[in-house]
Amino acid sequence: MEDLTQEEWSEQLANDDNAVVLDVRTDAEVADGIIPNAIHIDIYKGQDFINEIEELDKSKNYYVYCRSGNRSGQACNIMEELGFENAYNLEGGMLEWTGDVVDLD
């Protein structure tokens, strides 16, 4: 796992053809907006979270975020334990995000 600053995360993501953006916030948090093209899997779903993560393609590069950067850091650690080699945590999460956000409705 690697912690990336907002700038590093955005720049690396923009230049990564093998990238998947992963939002690990709750449904209520996601209702406030989501980074474009992100997949949403709530880390608070416990075993269901792990089950859904295990279905993802381990050859992809995952850019993981939450509200502040704590849960996404935990998610990156879980992903590493499950055999994912490239998981990048967004430091500061959505609280510091200045990039695009889309509403899901």
66 labelled catalytic: yes
Helix 70-81 vs helix 47-54: angle between axes, to the nearest 10 degrees? Answer: 60
Give the helix/strand (H/E) hosting 40: strand 39-40
DSSP secondary structure code for residue 90 in this structure: E
Find the catalytic residue in 13, 64, 66, 87. Answer: 66
Active-site amino acid positions? 66
